[in-house]
Every structure is written in C-alpha cells, then in structure tokens.
Amino acid sequence: MNDISKRVWYAVAMALVVGLVWAAAPVSPASAAAEVVHGVTIEIDGEPKALNEPARMREGRLFVPVARVAEMFEVKALSWNAAHQETTIVNTAGDTIVLGDGVPVVYFNDERYRMDTAPFVAGGRMYVPLRHVAELLHASVHWDAEQLRAIFTVQQPVVVEEGFDLREISVQYGSSSAQLLMRNGLQTAEQVKVGTELLVVVPSIFDHKAEPYTEADFNLLAKITQVESGYESYEGQLAVANVILNRVKHADFPDTVRDVIYSGRQFPPAHNGKLDRSVPNASVKRAVKDALNGKNNVGQAVYFYNPRVTRGSFWSGLQTVATIGNHRFAK
C-alpha cells in the first residue's frame, strides 16, 4: 500500500471512529453551561486544518473536540468506549491517554493525574481544554482570540548531544531535569546518554497526581453501592458512591471507606450479610470508578435516603442537594 493509500485509509478509519461510533454518546450535564463557538480554525505546523465541528467556551476557557484534533495529529490509535463514556488515544509518541466524561482524572500511561477541569460530552463529541489537548499530543499551542485560530506546533523529540545534556535541554524547554526524567519514564540522569531521544513537552497534569485508592476500597465501595442502588440509574449509583467518599473527607465521619460503611447504622447491609453477598454490576463498577476519579454529581452531600420510607425531623431538617431516582441526597 503506497503512502497516499495509507493516508486515505487512515482518514476513513478515523472518520468512522469519531463520526459514527460517537454519534450515540449522550449529552453531559457539564456541557449545559458551555457556549458554542463557531468558526474556530486549527493550524498544525503551519498547515491549516478543517475543524468541521464547533468549539465550546466554558468559564473563559476554550474546549475543543479532542477526537477531531487527535485525528488531525494522525495519532496511532483512537477509540470511544460508549459503555464507559471514555476516549482512549495513543498519541504519536506512543503514550496511552484515557479521558472520561465529567471525570477530572486522566489516565496517562496507566498513571492517574488530575486535570484542573473535567472533559465533557456535547453533541456526541468529547471536549477537552485546548491547552491540555496540545500537551497530551506533545505540542505547544497559541490561541489567537481575534482570528479564532488555534496554532499548534508539534514538538519533535530532542536528541541528547555532547554539551547538550539533560540539564541544558530542561533549561531550553522550560522544565526541570526531574520533570523530563518523569516524562520519559526514566529514573536517573545516568540513563540519559548521548543519542537518547527525549520528549520535552511535559503535560501540566504531571504536577497533580491523583489521590490513590486501593483495590479493597474499590471493591467495598462497589459492593455497598450495588446493595443500596444497584436498581438505580448510573447517576443514582454515582451519587451513592459520592456520599460515602464525602463522608471520608468530612470531619464528622470516619476517614476510611471501610470505617464509613461499617460504622453506625446508616448502612444495615454491612451488618446483615447482604454486603458480603453483593455482586456489583457493570454500571455500578463504572460509577464507583468515576467517583473515585473525582466525578461528583451531589456536591458535599453526606446523607441519602428514600423519602417515601424514611421520615422524621432529622431528615426533614437536612438541606437537599439533589433527588435522583428513589433517593434524596442531602447535607
């Protein structure tokens, strides 16, 4: 297959991914406040590209359809998981990036980092802040607000030479030696030798590693979420999981997932055997994973109850945050 044929096949394959598969993606609630911006153009290394889809502005920041821009960069792989509402990109440097709808934590080569704002889905497309898109695709970007033009410059790997070592490279590209080592999966400066190729765009997310969680926490949180809301929608399951995580952070409750679930009488299944027999379904597992990765649809709520079953002055005195399905969420 010649180069032209390869490019044609690549374009067709990417169009199928971003155009057909994503068409079934629902609209994210987070997109409601995002203003549609028409007429945005893209330039990569001086070459104009057709965006063909609107950008969106939210809280003064420009969000672009990440799959469409990734396609322009001719990434190695691009896919959409409808069940999990996740985009996976393998960029030209071989990094694997996983982005979730409304989830501030991004997986970068299986490491978890927290973005300063979450991606969202609107019009069947996932939107990510312009600067984050550039960094994840190993490029820099300049936003020309007057011309509505995003100007990307792809940064090729830099080769270490005599007199142009790790320290000099880090100074030239505005990072530290430690950051460059981390970006390239290296442990010590001694691993950097003449001829070594270094990736020099260090994503800003690298400064914000996500708070870790254990498999035991995930499994226990999934079990109790299944018992309490397995019959509810994904949104209801996400809300229940977040109530428990909010309690972990709240001064009036225990500070571990296990202790929150087993203390007091809020969760009877933890004491009557139902929790032990619980088998979380796929929707619950997704909701719990998303909650642990920072997606929260009930703010600081630390209680939930079914108002048709649970009544009394205590419950009526709480401030309702949301009502989802059969449950009311409050603080």
Residue 238: both structure tokens together: 């996400």
Which helix (H) or strand (E) segment holds residue 260: the answer is helix 257-262
Tens-digit pLDDT profile for residues 180-237: 999 999 999 999 999 999 999 999 999 999 999 999 999 999 999 999 999 999 999 9
Distance of CA 322 to the CA centre of its chain: 23
> HSE-up of 205 (CA within 13 Å, CB side)?
26
Tens-digit pLDDT profile for residues 25-41: 444 555 657 899 999 99
> HSE-up of 318 (CA within 13 Å, CB side)?
20
Strand 47-49, strand 86-90: pairing = unpaired
For residues 300 and 117, what is the distance between their CA atoms, to the nearest angstrom?
Answer: 18
Which helix (H) or strand (E) segment holds residue 296: the answer is none
User: Exposed (0-12), middle (13-18) or buried (19+): which is 289, by Cβ within 10 Å?
Assistant: buried
For residues 68 and 15, what is the distance between their CA atoms, to the nearest angstrom?
Answer: 9
Spatial CA neighbour of 180 closest among 152, 162, 212, 155: 155
pLDDT at 9: 44
Strand 149-154, strand 139-144: pairing = antiparallel
- In angstroms, what CA-CA distances link 227 with 224, 237, 263? 5, 10, 17
Q: Please give the average per-residue pLDDT across 301-330, as a whole number.
A: 95
Domains of the chain, with CATH numbers?
35-153 (3.30.457.10), 156-207 (3.10.350.10), 215-330 (1.10.10.2520)
pLDDT at 33: 78
User: Exposed (0-12), middle (13-18) or buried (19+): which is 307, by Cβ within 10 Å?
Assistant: middle
Which one-letter DSSP state was computed for residue 19? Answer: I
Spatial CA neighbour of 181 closest among 189, 173, 171: 189
pLDDT at 32: 58
Strand 303-305, strand 61-65: pairing = unpaired
Judge whether residue 18 has pLDDT over 70.
Answer: no
Residue 119: both structure tokens together: 């991606």
Asked if 33 contacts 133 with a C-beta cutoff of 8 angstroms, the reply is no
Spatial CA neighbour of 129 closest among 30, 209, 48: 30
pLDDT at 31: 60
pLDDT at 42: 96
Judge whether residue 324 has pLDDT over 70.
Answer: yes
For residues 115 and 30, what is the distance between their CA atoms, to the nearest angstrom?
Answer: 15
pLDDT at 28: 56
CA angle 324, 240, 125 (to 5 degrees): 70
Beta bridge partners of 43: 48, 151
DSSP string of 64-128, one letter each residue? EEHHHHHHHTT-SEEEEETTTTEEEEE-TT--EEEEETT--EEEETTEEEE-SS--EEETTEEEE
| CB atoms inside a 10 Å sphere around CB 4 | 8
Tens-digit pLDDT profile for residues 110-140: 999 999 999 999 999 999 999 999 999 999 9
Helices (H), 124-254: 130-136, 166-172, 177-183, 215-229, 234-249
Judge whether residue 281 has pLDDT over 60.
Answer: yes
* Rounded (10°) angle between helices 234-249 and 215-229: 130
Q: Average model confidence (pLDDT) for the chain?
A: 90
Residue 308: both structure tokens together: 């048709």
